[in-house]
Amino acid sequence: MVAGWHLGRNEIASLVLEKSESLRATGSAIILQANGWWALDHLGLGIASLLRQASLPIDLSEELRCVKRMDLIKSLADMLPLGTLKLGCRVTSIERDPFTRHPLLQLHNGNLIRPKLS
């Protein structure tokens, strides 16, 4: 999701495919250490400060905090440009188009995605 956001920020269209039909988190929480918080701080958009407020501090001397997985996933999904995240898209194979040599993504429902490469 971060890659999709960064590409969109640089005016490069992208598509983030998620096999699940909905945003869901396996497991209830994740522990973020200082380098994880640094990465979230540098994304901007205030995501890190919102997550800090909702997190459970474990060791503030090392900025070790427990965050609900769903809070993290939802925060990342919300920062994506509209239309970037597609749910329920399980990729079953990736092959090359024999004519263009570009990749072809086959989805579980039979749909094909032909990425536009510049």
Per-residue pLDDT reduced to its tens digit, 9-34: 888 889 999 988 888 767 789 999 99
Residue 49 has pLDDT above 70, yes or no: yes
Q: Are residues 76 and 111 in the same domain?
A: no
Domain count within the chain: 2
Name the average pLDDT for the chain: 89
Q: Are residues 78 and 109 in the same domain?
A: no
Residue 58 has pLDDT above 90, yes or no: yes
Specify the pLDDT at position 118.
Answer: 66
CA distance 78 to 51: 13
CA distance 54 to 93: 39
Specify the pLDDT at position 95.
Answer: 93
CA distance 27 to 72: 12
Domain with 97 in it: 89-118
Q: Are residues 76 and 100 in the same domain?
A: no
Q: Are residues 50 and 100 in the same domain?
A: no
Q: Are residues 17 and 72 in the same domain?
A: yes
CA distance 71 to 91: 26
Q: Are residues 94 and 83 in the same domain?
A: no
Q: Are residues 74 and 111 in the same domain?
A: no
Backbone angles phi, psi at 105, to 5 degrees: -105, 120
Specify the pLDDT at position 108.
Answer: 92
